[in-house]
Structure 1
Amino acid sequence: MPRTGRRPGNQDTREAILSSARKAFSEKGFDGASIRSIATGAGVDPALVHHYFGTKDQLFTATLELPVDVVKVMTGLAADGLDGFGERLVRTILGVWDSPAGSAAAALVRSAVAHEWTARLMREFLLTQILRRVLGSFDIDPAEAPTRANLVASQMIGLLLMRYIIKLEPLAHMDPEDVARMVGPTIQRYLTEPLK
């Protein structure tokens, strides 16, 4: 029987929960992983998982060690409506990557490119925590939402890879406002224009 209740040392307990959660989310996806199975894997009571991390969504975000609260940022962007969302998205994401948090974000992307497990976690995070929430707040045909979300994600990941990882010039040093003005309409088109 796995131990339940508190484990000795708060940091050890947190790390055991995070390790179990990463494994569960990577193997079963966000929807398939349960707090109970994560707690069992960490050898703790499910209530302790909630104590340290709150909701399943918050635990999932913690497993990625994101430098900013991406869910909060994206929810705020979506709250301003679909009109102009493309430029707001590009401007905001570039702002994060140009801040001190950018180096941690770049490390996460590099890890996702090099390691399948990180890629699976990142894919689950993008689908369940970001794209599903953002597109769900807009009046977008649910049958088209996955395709539209994938197009937006591919455009943004490509932009981030070229600007911050590969550092392709002149994009690498272009003014963020200019990038938002040029790339934003493409994002907007993926969200609003007919797909066929």
Structure 2
Amino acid sequence: MSGRRPGSPQTREAILDAGLRAFTESGYAGTTIRAVARAAGVDPALVMHFFGSKDGLFEAAIRGGGIPLRSLSDAADGDVEGLGRRVVARYVSLWEDPETGARLHAVMSSVAASPAAADLFKEFVRSEVIQPLVKRLDVGSPETRAILAGSHLMGVAFARYVVRIEPLVSLSPEELISCVAPAVQRYLTGDLPI
């Protein structure tokens, strides 16, 4: 016996954990099925059995809670007047957390480098972030508004956490939230020429 794990649910989770670590540490382009299999102590064929491809593994890592953007939709609960601030505060807290921030950084880098990763991420954001916000908005063009808010947040995150542009990096999280929340609130509920 080679000492490799059989195809159990625990094996699937071990592969998923190894894949998430690999995407976080090496990005999408730098992650290989062989390296994930080696880290999980399984044969590469078992990775393919559970996930079908690297794209399937990446999608499972995003959807399986490894990328906690889903929690942004929880910020939709509460009064509409405070929606922008709640969404921005939740988003900034995810980036500021060492574990989730590293994962988000890896995803942001991966989607910039790989069209396949970008397609998977777009679908995830649309279903897990945009649609819950759309359901909460009682204004015209809710999907466009939610996408505008999301693109603003992604731009801020890219500038602050990935490229690290000053003076954005030096702002405290609370200062950042206070600066960005009014713009996001306007996208979500304010007057727009659409």
**1:179 CA displacement:** 1.1
Q: Which of the numbers 145, 158, 174 marks the counterpart of 1:177?
A: 174
**Unaligned ranges ≥5, structure 2:** 1-5, 16-46
Counterpart of 1:83 in 2: which secondary structure? helix
Query: CA–CA distance in 1 between the matches of 2:165 and 2:116?
Result: 27
Task: Describe how 1:117-128 pairs up with structure 2 within 5 A.
Answer: 117-128=116-127
Query: CA–CA distance in 2 between the matches of 1:17 and 1:182?
Result: 44
Aligned 8 A contact 2:152 2:184 in 1: yes
**Is 1:80 equivalent to 2:82 in the alignment?**
no
CA-atom RMSD in angstroms: 2.7
Normalised TM-score (structure 2): 0.69
2:66 paired residue number = 65
CA spacing shift, 1:192–1:8, aligned 2, 3 Å: closer
Aligned 8 A contact 2:73 2:128 in 1: no
CA spacing shift, 1:81–1:61, aligned 2, 3 Å: farther
Task: Describe how 1:141-156 pairs up with structure 2 within 5 A.
Answer: 141=140, 144-156=141-153
Aligned 8 A contact 2:83 2:185 in 1: yes
In proportion to residue count, which structure has more helix? Answer: 2
**1:137 CA displacement:** 2.3
CA spacing shift, 1:79–1:21, aligned 2, 3 Å: farther
Counterpart of 1:171 in 2: which secondary structure? coil
Runs (4+) of structure 1 exceeding 6 A deviation are: none
CA spacing shift, 1:187–1:12, aligned 2, 3 Å: closer
Q: 15-24 or 174-183: which moved more? A: 15-24
How many pairs were matched up?
A: 153
Task: Describe how 1:29-44 pairs up with structure 2 within 5 A.
Answer: none
**1:108 CA displacement:** 0.7
1:165 paired residue number = 162
Counterpart of 1:140 in 2: which secondary structure? coil
Query: CA–CA distance in 2 between the matches of 1:21 and 1:83?
Result: 42
1:37 paired residue number = none
**1:86 CA displacement:** 1.2
2:20 paired residue number = none
**Unaligned ranges ≥5, structure 1:** 1-6, 27-57
Task: Describe how 1:13-24 pairs up with structure 2 within 5 A.
Answer: 15=47, 16-19=49-52, 22-23=55-56
State the one-letter code of the partner of 2:50. I
State the one-letter code of the partner of 2:110. S
Q: 78-87 or 15-24: which moved more? A: 15-24
Aligned 8 A contact 1:131 1:149 in 2: yes
Normalised TM-score (structure 1): 0.68
CA spacing shift, 1:157–1:20, aligned 2, 3 Å: same
